[in-house]
């Protein structure tokens, strides 16, 4: 039992290291772009990568300081602050993923007929949307400071420090009303609703890509020149990378929801480790999908100033 816990912790550390490198490289690549040339999508990617780095760092600090100090009580405000920062980073990453999916969906909708740029194409609008995401993530994370502190009974692997990894600080059978309300509100607003939005946008993007492929097939056979004008291969490649990242998001947070709604931390002693691996896998792998898909990880890009 202890050996399996060590394996899970080791896997989490590996995933975290991979994610930290990927997000830092993505941030560095975007910062190399001149400010006047930064596009809305790159701004959203920069904000999401920054949130990912914050979450990964805080999660590992949380693990090292709290869970590796056996039988050492942790000050309540320190525990709540670390939880707040963890939830804030996770929620911000989710909200920017939703924003990226909405932006890509809007860019593809009626792209051939549209004359004026969409609302989020303007950097001012993009900054405003980013600010709303950060404010919403802050508001959704603040209740951590007022929840009734309660460690789930029966967590044999992680209760010595007095600071449970359980976000909602209660078990399924013994949960104060305030904690329960926050649990379901957070699950709906930060997990279920974003998952639905990303899924709907993914379906729309797939439909657009399939329709473009059908229209390109006869054009390539009859007139290759016209086929090239109708679709930019680089844009299609970027759209595919966004679709892949959204698919990764759907898999991760569907698994997270299944675990959150069907498994109790008191009945499954490894819930904390599994939860961390699931929640950090998207933040760790998504920068590689976005970066490679948009040529942000190429050596040519890093050498260009």
Of all residues in the chain, what percent carry a pLDDT higher than 90?
28
Residue 23: CB atoms within 10 Å: 26
**pLDDT, tens digit (0-9, with 9 covering 90-100), for 51-67:** 999 999 988 887 777 66
Query: Region 11-22: what's the mean pLDDT?
Result: 90
Task: Please determine, for residue 49, whether its predicted confidence score (pLDDT) is greater than 90.
Answer: yes
Q: DSSP labels for 90-154?
A: HHHHHHHHHHHHHHHHHHHTTTTT--SPPGGGSHHHHHHHHHHHHHHHHHHHGGGGTSPP-PPTT
Task: Please determine, for residue 15, whether its predicted confidence score (pLDDT) is greater than 50.
Answer: yes
Q: Give the model's pLDDT for residue 98.
A: 94
Query: Region 247-263: what's the mean pLDDT?
Result: 87
Distances (CA, A) of 278 to 61, 72, 294: 18, 28, 25
**pLDDT, tens digit (0-9, with 9 covering 90-100), for 166-190:** 677 666 666 778 888 888 888 899 8
Task: Please determine, for residue 159, whether its predicted confidence score (pLDDT) is greater than 50.
Answer: no
Of all residues in the chain, what percent carry a pLDDT higher than 70?
72
Query: Region 259-272: what's the mean pLDDT?
Result: 73
Q: How far is CA 264 from the centre of its chain?
A: 23
Supply 265's token pair. Answer: 């931390």
Mind listing the domains of the chain with CATH numbers?
2-303 (1.20.1070.10)
DSSP character at residue 175:
-
Q: Give the model's pLDDT for residue 250.
A: 93
Q: Give the model's pLDDT for residue 152.
A: 47
Task: Please determine, for residue 46, whether its predicted confidence score (pLDDT) is greater than 70.
Answer: yes
Confidence of residue 149 (pLDDT cuts 50, 70, 90): low
Q: How far is CA 12 from the centre of its chain?
A: 16
Q: Give the model's pLDDT for residue 139.
A: 94
Query: Region 200-225: what's the mean pLDDT?
Result: 70
Q: Give the model's pLDDT for residue 210.
A: 81
Q: Give the model's pLDDT for residue 235.
A: 66
The residue ranking higher by pLDDT, 144 or 220, is 144
Range name among 22-26, 109-113, 157-161, 186-190 with the lowest pLDDT average: 157-161
**pLDDT, tens digit (0-9, with 9 covering 90-100), for 72-83:** 566 778 788 888
How far apart are the C-alpha atoms of 68 and 3, rounded to whole Å? 15
Residue 18: CB atoms within 10 Å: 17
């Amino acid at each position: 039992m202890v050996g399996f816990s060590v394996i899970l912790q080791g896997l989490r550390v590996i995933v975290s290291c991979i994610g930290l490198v990927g997000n830092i490289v993505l941030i560095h690549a975007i910062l190399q772009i001149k400010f006047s040339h930064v596009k809305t999508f790159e701004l959203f990617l920069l904000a999401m990568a920054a949130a990912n780095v914050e979450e990964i760092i805080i999660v590992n600090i949380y693990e090292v300081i709290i869970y590796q100090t056996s039988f050492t009580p942790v000050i309540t405000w320190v525990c709540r602050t670390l939880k707040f920062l963890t939830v804030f980073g996770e929620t911000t990453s989710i909200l920017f993923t939703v924003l990226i999916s909405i932006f890509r969906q809007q860019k593809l909708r009626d792209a051939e007929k549209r004359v004026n740029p969409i609302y989020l194409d303007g950097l001012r609008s993009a900054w405003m949307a980013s600010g709303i995401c950060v404010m919403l993530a802050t508001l959704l994370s603040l209740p951590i400071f007022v929840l009734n502190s309660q460690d789930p009974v029966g967590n044999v692997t992680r209760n010595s420090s007095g600071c449970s990894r359980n976000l909602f600080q209660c078990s399924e059978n013994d949960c104060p009303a305030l904690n329960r309300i926050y649990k379901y509100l957070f699950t709906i607003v930060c997990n279920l609703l974003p998952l639905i939005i990303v899924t709907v946008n993914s379906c729309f993007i797939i439909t657009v890509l399939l329709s473009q492929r059908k229209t390109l097939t006869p054009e390539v056979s009859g007139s290759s020149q016209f086929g090239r004008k109708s679709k930019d291969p680089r844009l299609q490649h970027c759209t595919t990378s966004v679709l892949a990242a959204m698919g990764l998001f759907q898999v991760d947070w569907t698994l997270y929801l299944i675990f959150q709604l069907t498994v109790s931390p008191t009945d499954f002693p490894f819930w904390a480790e599994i939860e961390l691996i699931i929640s950090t896998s998207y933040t760790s792998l998504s920068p590689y999908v976005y970066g490679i898909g948009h040529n942000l990880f190429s050596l040519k890009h890093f050498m260009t100033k």
